[in-house]
């Protein structure tokens, strides 16, 4: 039986409901570029903004892409209307802190955007906060979760990743972590490899043993 020691949480869609803000920002960007909003929104979920911009701006210079990134980043950092904690997030993180269980946030967002949404949701500060600035390869590459585990001083196999997006689920599994999927799409990949699948964080309960091992269960 695997023994777990800590948690690695995605932010948007996992700890924070920022979907309305994401839709507003990326829909405006899509309109600027004459791209159907549904096409953009269907691609971006769980991926770094720069990866998405490069996907939709083939052939454009790096300078042009960086300019669009700055425009989008400013918009997303300033617009936190409706951003709130996912049900159960505050209580779960408080339980981890009370039991001194290590946890980190591992997000594809940049510092301004991630910190604005984290603050708007009223979440406690993590011991480790991995953002787009810390990584070379974003999700679905495993690098973000490998780095999160390393910064917590844990091996990936000792970590439970909590994710909502297919890209993040793949990243967590490929990093060697156990993965809990929170309200994932019906066609989310590798469902048979998940540790748990839940609709929100509310049913999750965590208990730390005297040996420091973490048990994760759900309640009705």
**Known catalytic membership, residue 220:** no
Selected catalytic residue, list 12, 17, 79, 174: 12
The span from the CA of 9 to the CA of 12, in Å, is: 9
Selected catalytic residue, list 10, 17, 79, 164: 10
Give me 2's structure tokens: 């695997």
CA dihedral 140, 144, 146, 150 (to 10 degrees): -170
User: Residue 36: enclosing H or E segment and its boundaries?
Assistant: none
With CA atoms as reference, report the closest residue to 12 among 134, 109, 127, 95. Answer: 109
Taking the alpha carbons of 49, 51, 52, 58 in that order, is the dihedral positive or negative? Answer: positive
**Known catalytic membership, residue 12:** yes
Which residues are catalytically annotated? 10, 12
């Amino acid at each position: 039986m695997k023994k777990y020691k800590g948690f690695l949480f995605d932010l948007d869609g996992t700890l924070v409901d920022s979907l309305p803000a994401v839709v507003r920002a990326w829909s405006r960007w899509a309109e600027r570029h004459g791209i159907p909003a549904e096409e953009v929104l269907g691609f971006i979920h769980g991926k770094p903004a720069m990866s998405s911009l490069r996907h939709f701006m083939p052939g454009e210079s790096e300078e042009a892409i960086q300019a669009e990134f700055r425009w989008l980043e400013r918009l997303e950092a300033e617009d936190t209307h409706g951003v709130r904690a996912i049900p159960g997030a505050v209580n779960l993180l408080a339980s981890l802190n009370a039991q001194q269980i290590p946890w980190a946030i591992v997000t594809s967002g940049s510092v301004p955007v991630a910190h604005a949404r984290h603050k708007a949701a009223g979440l406690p500060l993590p011991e480790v906060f991995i953002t787009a600035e810390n990584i070379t390869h974003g999700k679905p590459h495993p690098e973000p979760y490998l780095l999160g585990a390393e910064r917590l001083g844990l091996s990936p196999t000792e970590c439970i990743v909590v994710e909502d997006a297919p890209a993040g689920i793949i990243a967590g599994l490929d990093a060697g972590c156990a993965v809990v999927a929170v309200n994932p799409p019906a066609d989310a990949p590798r469902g048979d490899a998940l540790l748990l699948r839940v609709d929100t964080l509310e049913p999750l309960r965590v208990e730390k043993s005297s040996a420091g091992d973490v048990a994760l269960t759900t309640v009705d």
